[in-house]
């Protein structure tokens, strides 16, 4: 009698069948090691110094343990922070009644949306050397147990610098955007625009709040932006050349990715038409065309362990995933209804693309959603100091 060999179904039916490690099983010792790796990253970013005057600008939905843990770092250095809690993160600028309090600070930890754009805050960083940490991606202390929390902060910085090295700096070029759904957009850059963009300290890859005038994110996942208003620091009366159509896969406030291919048409950096017939297209048309929304920032992620398809709270921040952040002239009724407690104002919208190809002239920055600086030799060399470069840089959290 001939013996029947096991079939694929037989193998799959075995409760012991495995050719991959169990990713859900972590020994207590491994969890402890991972946790303190993340804690050390956090302490390095929150580089509070003896003599600092620390101020928290918070909101009621921020996990109070965040304030306590950062205060603990401050207390160990003999620093006792102050705090001002606003009704929400959505303030358009600094309230007049606390300007003196903010001016007195040397180190600010903020959850407010206006942290980066407020002229008052920017002036304090520029003229007084205030150091700022934005905590959009650290609103819950439990995030210290995530892969992105323990990804080396200095390696994030090298990935940022690797991307900066790819920008042409001595001639005009078009940054072009294409995707399988038909996106075809261009942003024209000049050397002055590149110089203005890269003058932001975040493009230097510095992830620690230890230098005068710095503005960093913790956790270090978001930005710097591939394009934003910093491009025009050296350009009087800017008239951005942002022309074409993108087909985002998702947008903030929508429960699921789009089924229809919805196109957003830009002219002069302003969305002039939404292509599509679905309810989602109709909502976006009212929000973006009706609100005269312009491209405010083109955000990209730089932390390979940030969940690739996690769009909330401010666009996906996995490397190579893009969010086209627009600001409208009026708040959206839809956003006020479905994201009433959102960390960003109802005039803002992040439209998300996971599979874009982006070229700066002849240089490919992103290849079908893959950030090419992850294979930059200097990035790979630094990654090798922390472990297996392929695992660190190219094994993503789906």
54-58 sheet: strands from edge to edge: 82-85, 54-58, 107-110, 131-134, 215-217
Sign of the Cα torsion 103, 108, 113, 118 reads positive
Give the pLDDT band (50/70/90) at residue 14: confident
Residue 8 lies in a domain: no
Same domain, 189 and 323: yes
Residue 206 lies in a domain: no
pLDDT at 216: 93
Same domain, 288 and 327: yes
Same domain, 117 and 243: no
Q: How many structural domains comprise the chain?
A: 2
First to last CA, the chain: 48
Same domain, 227 and 124: no
Complete DSSP assignment for 352-386: EESS-EEEETTEEEEETTEEGGGG-HHHHHHHTTT
Same domain, 367 and 230: yes
Residue 398 lies in a domain: no
Which strand (E) or helix (H) includes residue 162? helix 153-164
Give the pLDDT band (50/70/90) at residue 177: very high
Closest CA to 327 of 288, 298, 286: 288
Residue 357 lies in a domain: yes
Closest CA to 305 of 180, 150, 99, 198: 150
Same domain, 378 and 292: yes
Residue 323 lies in a domain: yes
Domain boundary, last residue among 127, 144, 161: 144
5: tokens are 């060999």
Same domain, 360 and 251: yes
Q: Taking residues 393-397, what's their average pLDDT?
A: 92
CA distance 331 to 25: 45
Give the pLDDT band (50/70/90) at residue 1: low
Residue 117 lies in a domain: yes
CA distance 32 to 14: 32
The CATH code of the domain that includes 77 is 3.40.50
Same domain, 96 and 185: no
Rg (CA), the chain: 22
CA distance 342 to 314: 9
Same domain, 380 and 234: yes
Residue 163 lies in a domain: no
CB 104 within 8 A of CB 52: no
Global pTM value: 0.91
**Cα maximum dimension of the chain:** 92
Q: How far is CA 197 from the centre of its chain?
A: 16
Q: Taking residues 5-29, what's their average pLDDT?
A: 78
Domain boundary, last residue among 126, 144, 162: 144
CB 288 within 8 A of CB 349: yes
Per-residue pLDDT tens digits for 88-129: 999 989 999 999 999 999 999 999 999 988 999 999 999 999
Q: At what angle do helices 153-164 and 28-45 cross, to 10 degrees?
A: 60
User: Which residue is it, tokens 């929304």?
Assistant: 293
Domain membership of residue 95 as a residue range: 29-144
Complete DSSP assignment for 76-112: TTT---EEEE-S-S--SS--GGGHHHHHH-SEEEE--
Residue 158 lies in a domain: no
Same domain, 230 and 91: no
Same domain, 181 and 119: no
Same domain, 135 and 178: no
| E-only strand ranges, the chain | 54-58, 82-85, 107-110, 131-134, 173-178, 184-189, 215-217, 227-228, 242-246, 250-251, 263-267, 270-275, 294-300, 322-327, 348-353, 357-360, 363-367, 370-371
Per-residue pLDDT tens digits for 228-280: 989 998 777 888 999 999 999 999 999 999 999 999 999 999 999 999 999 99
């Amino acid at each position: 009698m001939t013996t029947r060999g096991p079939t694929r179904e037989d193998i799959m039916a075995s409760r012991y069948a495995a050719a991959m490690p169990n990713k859900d099983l972590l020994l207590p010792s491994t969890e402890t090691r991972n946790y303190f790796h993340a804690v050390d990253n956090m302490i390095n970013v929150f580089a509070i110094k003896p003599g600092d005057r620390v101020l928290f600008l918070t909101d009621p939905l921020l996990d109070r343990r965040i304030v306590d843990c950062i205060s603990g770092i401050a207390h160990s250095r003999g620093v006792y922070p102050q705090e001002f809690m606003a009704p929400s993160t959505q303030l358009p600028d600094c309230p007049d009644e606390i300007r003196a309090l903010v001016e007195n600070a040397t180190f600010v930890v903020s959850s407010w949306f206006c942290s980066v754009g407020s002229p008052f805050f920017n002036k304090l960083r520029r003229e007084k050397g205030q150091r700022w940490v934005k905590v959009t991606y650290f609103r819950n202390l439990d995030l210290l147990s995530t892969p992105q929390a323990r990804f080396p902060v200095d390696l994030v910085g090298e990935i940022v610098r690797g991307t900066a090295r790819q920008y042409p700096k001595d001639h005009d070029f078009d940054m072009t955007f294409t995707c399988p759904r038909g996106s075809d957009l261009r942003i024209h850059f000049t050397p002055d625009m590149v110089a203005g963009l890269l003058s932001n300290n975040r493009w230097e890859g510095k992830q620690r709040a230890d230098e005068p005038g710095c503005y960093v994110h913790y956790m270090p996942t978001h930005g710097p932006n591939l394009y934003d208003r910093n491009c025009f620091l050296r350009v009087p009366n800017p008239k951005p050349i942002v022309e074409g159509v993108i087909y985002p896969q998702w947008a903030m406030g929508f429960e699921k990715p789009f089924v229809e291919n919805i196109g957003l048409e830009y002219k002069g950096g302003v969305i002039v038409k939404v292509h599509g017939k679905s309810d989602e297209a109709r909502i976006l048309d009212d929000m973006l065309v009706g609100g005269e929304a312009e491209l405010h920032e083109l955000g990209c992620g730089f932390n390979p362990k940030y969940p690739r398809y996690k769009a909330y709270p401010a666009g996906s921040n996995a490397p190579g995933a893009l969010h086209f952040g627009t600001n409208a002239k009026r708040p959206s009724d839809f956003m006020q209804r479905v994201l009433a407690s959102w960390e960003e104002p109802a005039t803002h919208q992040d439209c998300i693309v996971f599979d874009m190809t982006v070229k700066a002239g002849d240089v490919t920055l992103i290849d079908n959603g893959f950030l090419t600086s992850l294979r930059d030799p200097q990035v790979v060399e630094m990654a090798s100091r922390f472990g297996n470069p392929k695992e660190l840089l190219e094994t993503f959290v789906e």
